[in-house]
Structure 1
Amino acid sequence: MPASGAVVYPVPVGAILDSRESTLKSEQYRGQLDYSGSWKEHQVSALVGFEWRRAVTEGSSSRVYGLDTDKLNAGLVDFTRLYPNFVNGGSSYIQNGTSFDLKRNNFISQFANLAYTFRDAYTVSASARADASNVFGISTNNRWRPLWSAGVAWEVTRMPFFKFDFVDFLKLRATYGMSGNVDPGMVGVSTIRYPGISAFTQSPYAVFDKYSNPDLRWEKVGMFNAGVDFNLWKGRLSGSVEYYSKQADDLFGMFPIDYTTGVGSAIIKNVAKIKGNGLDIQLNSNNLSGGFKWQTTLNFSANKDRVVNYYVPNTLGSSFLQSGASVSGIEGLPVYAVFSYQWAGLDPMTGDPMGFVNGVASRDYNALTGPATQVGDLKYHGSALPKYFGNLVNNFSYAGLTLSVSLSFKFDYYFRRKSIDYTNLFDSWNGHADFQQRWRSPGDELQTNVPSLIFPNPSARDAFYKYSEVLIEKGDHIRIQYINLDYAFEKRMLGPLKIKTLNLFANLGNLGIIYRANKKGIDPEYITSGFNLPPGKLFSFGLRTSL
């Protein structure tokens, strides 16, 4: 406001329009030579080539003040002056809102594959490639990553000595290979960013965007597979069994650095190593044939992983407690592990939740949730991801009518369920059904684990209860994935219609769980919302035809 008392508008009256434009340009060039040949009992196929890719992203943003959408004009703003800020009581410049950005990612690959087969029974294969990326800009050795794989296969049923009539097909195979991974958001050299024009100097200025990380290198993964494919009793039973072992080295993670470097407290480095192994089984059976047919497909997987090495920046217990699945990083435990505060019950006189401090029941929530509680003081439950999972599909058909029923299952894992959070209740009126089960009077602690309602409510009290072991549940369950019914009209029923096929179908989806390990009626796959609501059931029907 000037001395005359007249009202002025540093930000012109009208709308504020923010505009953003981004363009992605990508190029890819590939050259490849193929060869295949056979003679007598030998077959050879090979290829060699290279590939180059580049992706360039350009963007810009702008802001105009005082926009008049009828006259299509805007006002003028002085970005060089300080104006009173009525929000914080200080002074600030009007935001310019103009910026430009440019990102380039380059990749190059060289590759070769070779496969040799002898007597249609023995196969040896190998592949090799070398990939390079400009995000590792310090050492040439780190910029390139050689990748390779090799495998063998033996079709046993082609051997003259194999005399089992019930075995139609039997093949043994094994492979081992190395692969790599890179995150385009990471770089090995220091990069700068130009935010715009300085309000102080009225000149362009730059800030550090990424800091030099000369030790950054590719993540590398080694994997071994061994399997058997089979077909028995004239196709009555077929399938495959496969075992795999996987090891990942130089995985990306946060690594603490000295504050005095001036670039923050942590940077991304290659800090972790994990191992895993598992079993995949697929079985297909023709149970009944003839007019009425019944076919079954079973897919079963078992998986186990563990952290071998990981630099944990801190061991505070609260750092290992999350609402969803997150990387734990504790050596010897699964990559995604579930922890909780140990529970000592509700105080019989106040209904306050209690934990353990130095082995003694306590209501000192600052000690229970603060630095005094380390990861070793937490209770470990198990993996946050299923160790056993798969699905079972049954198909029944008769005279053009087909019924398909699919069941899925997941076993041996844990999740953290929702409950009442009094802080959210008071601040945002977000409640939970557990509120009616809260402790009200002495003796209730024998029937419930839901804390009493108090006001004011310490946030640390809610945090302890939220991450306590009483809210951990087993996630094991079996659900009906879908039921499909399909009727295919016979040719003679189509009459004069000039169509090849006509099918009438009906589908039912999201039919729900038929078994769950938890006693709360919770669907473990839909726990992100406070109400734990699964998606609604789906029903669809229609006609499908081809001309």
Structure 2
Amino acid sequence: MYNTERQWSKGRSHYSVDSYYARNLINLFTEPTANGLIHNLPVGGILSESFSALQSTRFRSQLNYDASFAERHHLAVLGGFEFSDRKAEITANGVYGYDDNVLTVGAVDYTRTYPIYEGLSGNASIPSFGDFSSTVQRFVSLYTNMGYTYRDRYVFTLSARRDASNMFGVKTNQRWNPLWSTGLAWNMKTEPFLREIEWVDQLKLKWTRGVSGNLSGAATQRPVLTYLSRADYTRLPYAIIQSPPNPNLKWENVLMTNYGLEYGFFDNRITGSLDYFRKVASDLLSIDPIDPTSGYSSMTRNVGRIKSQGFEWNSNWHWIRKGNVAFTSSIALSYVKDIVDIYNGVENTAENYVRNGGRVLTPLQDRVLYPVFSYKFMGLDGQTGDPVGVWEGEPSQDYNRIVSDSLRNLDYHGSALPLFYGFFQNNLKLGPVSLYVNIAYKFGHHFTKPTISYPSLINSWGGHKDYEKRWQSSGDEEHTTVPSMDYPANSVRSNFYRYSSANVEKGDHIRLQSARISYDIKKLMNKWTNGSGQIFMSINNGGVLWSRTKSGYDPDYSGLPPSKNFVIGINCQF
């Protein structure tokens, strides 16, 4: 198989002389003098154009062999190789003083700097539109697959491939990445001891194990230079090393082992599968600190490893299947937990971890990928309403010391991502009426809820409903955790409370994902035409049905949740 692809695209942006963008830029570089105005940027429109081209080639050759023999054996084998080459180029440029009627442009000196607002804002150079880039990616793959079946009962599979890319190390053994997988399956239903059991329709055990590879463009084997048009002071072209060379760069490898069961009972009224997996992702790319005397404080290298395990269960129940009445249910439940086993990258400060709240990838050894941390909270001071934290094991209100404390003194709550998640779907059909309900659920995670920030309230009127719950007099500390209002507002005090354990809640919840009810009007339409149709009403983003949070916030959204979407309509086909 040979495939070639060519893509071209062109972009054009024209700002007329009357547009705000053009007028503002012209005025910005205009100098008032005793003899009048000097327009360092010519009066006229601004035109920018871009052109991109993509050229890719792919070649694949494959041989297949498939045969059955002795009425018990079946063998299928294939092998081949694949090559791909992809080149992308982007060109962009622009002009000033452009007149769209007569197609003329003005001259601009990009090498000089000009005073902005008569020097009140310093000097600046006229922005340049020039941008040129070119990227080449090449991949080579060798692969083979084999499957053997004995008596339609025992199955053995084996696959192997070797991939190479020009993105990786100069050493051959790092350019090439061997990938493989193997599997076994046992169709137990064909065994004599299950063949006569009528209520068992299918029962299969399976096992697979294999290695896959990931490709990342975050680093390359050779140094990457970025050429820029002009330096700020010399006004001469220059280049910077965007990323240092890494001749030892390798593929990210993922070793996966899976144990599975597929089943079907009672004339396949109950079907489903259960899978348990263990995964080890090694040689993960991450920012790694290096000797700063090299000119860089860090670089992207293969330094990480993540261990994961979990299970996935899917099941379908056909409760009723009779005539024009049917009722089916589907349920799915998954559990996944990822632990950072090795991480040699930069460890963030304690303040960064509590501020992230697990919303940003912040790896930490022996923790989940998206950990939730908080400052220890000991309640409110009964006399002042100030929040109380912990410093060196003792209650403290020294907020500067508390927020700069080490990571080991924070409260660790767990994962910001749900460990358990799934859905429960129901379909009911009663003659022309159909009802569908989809309920989703997530369990086993935490989130940091928003709260009042007094500096934000005072400086920018950023209010919050927790303001009415604030401490106002002695005794309020018995029924609230919201500190008293201070003025002038102490931002460190506010941040300590905002990211303390008082505002961390469990994110377990069940929500109505969607629902739909419809009425089939085919019989009604057949009186006038040979068609079909439905009258329907549906809802999407139905909202939270149950939650473990006490604050009422939607755990899935840090801001406003998506609005409920109601639709009523008629769908006709003629």
Q: Normalised by the size of structure 2, how large is the TM-score?
A: 0.87
SS of the residue 1:161 aligns to: helix
SS of the residue 1:520 aligns to: coil
Task: Please tell me the residue identity of whatever aligns with 2:80.
Answer: G
Task: Name the structure 1 match of 2:562.
Answer: 535
Task: Name the structure 2 match of 1:418.
Answer: 450
Say whether 1:79 aligns with 2:110.
yes
**Alignment check: 8 A CA contact 1:105 1:184 kept:** no
Task: Please tell me the residue identity of whatever aligns with 1:430.
Answer: G
Cα distance in 1 for residues equivalent to 2:191 and 2:502: 60
Task: Name the structure 1 match of 2:395.
Answer: 361
**Alignment check: 8 A CA contact 1:387 1:411 kept:** yes
**Alignment check: 8 A CA contact 2:541 2:563 kept:** yes
Q: How does 1:326-337 map to 2 (within 5 A)?
A: 326-337=360-371
**Alignment check: 8 A CA contact 2:164 2:176 kept:** yes
Task: State percent identity of aligned pairs.
Answer: 37
Task: Name the structure 2 match of 1:516.
Answer: 547
State the shift of 1:324 in Å.
Answer: 4.5
Task: Please tell me the residue identity of whatever aligns with 1:245.
Answer: R
SS of the residue 1:7 aligns to: strand
* Residue from 55, 76, 79 that aligns with 2:86: 55
Task: Please tell me the residue identity of whatever aligns with 1:12.
Answer: P
Task: Please tell me the residue identity of whatever aligns with 1:24.
Answer: L
**Alignment check: 8 A CA contact 1:136 1:142 kept:** yes
Task: Name the structure 2 match of 1:224.
Answer: 257
Task: Name the structure 1 match of 2:3.
Answer: none
**Alignment check: 8 A CA contact 1:326 1:337 kept:** no
* Residue from 438, 452, 463 that aligns with 1:431: 463
Task: Please tell me the residue identity of whatever aligns with 2:315.
Answer: L
* Residue from 51, 57, 63 that aligns with 1:33: 63
Cα distance in 1 for residues equivalent to 2:475 and 2:490: 23
**Alignment check: 8 A CA contact 1:315 1:374 kept:** no
Say whether 1:100 aligns with 2:132.
yes
Task: Name the structure 2 match of 1:462.
Answer: 494
Cα distance in 1 for residues equivalent to 2:74 and 2:238: 64
Task: Please tell me the residue identity of whatever aligns with 2:418.
Answer: P
Task: Please tell me the residue identity of whatever aligns with 1:413.
Answer: H
State the shift of 1:83 in Å.
Answer: 2.5
Query: Are the structure 2 counterparts of residues 357 and 498 from structure 1 closer, same or farther at C-alpha, using a change threshold of 3 Å?
Result: same
Query: Are the structure 2 counterparts of residues 47 and 437 from structure 1 closer, same or farther at C-alpha, using a change threshold of 3 Å?
Result: same
State the shift of 1:130 in Å.
Answer: 1.0
State the shift of 1:6 in Å.
Answer: 3.6
Over residues 75-109 of structure 1, what are the superposed CA-to-partner deviations in whole Å (9 max), with x where a residue is unaligned? 32222333234576544433333221111122221
Cα distance in 1 for residues equivalent to 2:357 and 2:44: 43
State the shift of 1:506 in Å.
Answer: 2.5
State the shift of 1:379 in Å.
Answer: 0.1
**Alignment check: 8 A CA contact 2:522 2:534 kept:** no
Over residues 303-324 of structure 1, what are the superposed CA-to-partner deviations in whole Å (9 max), with x where a residue is unaligned? 2221211125236311322044
State the shift of 1:226 in Å.
Answer: 1.1
* Residue from 23, 33, 51 that aligns with 2:53: 23
Cα distance in 2 for residues equivalent to 1:102 and 1:428: 46
* Residue from 365, 370, 374 that aligns with 2:406: 374
* Residue from 384, 389, 396 that aligns with 2:428: 396
SS of the residue 1:451 aligns to: coil
Query: Are the structure 2 counterparts of residues 353 and 78 from structure 1 closer, same or farther at C-alpha, using a change threshold of 3 Å?
Result: same
Unpaired segments ≥5 residues, structure 1: none
Task: Please tell me the residue identity of whatever aligns with 1:122.
Answer: Y
Cα distance in 2 for residues equivalent to 1:27 and 1:431: 57
Task: Name the structure 1 match of 2:183.
Answer: 151
* Residue from 521, 526, 529 that aligns with 2:557: 526
Cα distance in 2 for residues equivalent to 1:28 and 1:244: 34
CA RMSD of aligned residues (A): 2.5
Unpaired segments ≥5 residues, structure 2: 1-30
Over residues 377-418 of structure 1, what are the superposed CA-to-partner deviations in whole Å (9 max), with x where a residue is unaligned? 100011111111111111111113221112111111101111
* Residue from 477, 481, 486 that aligns with 2:513: 481
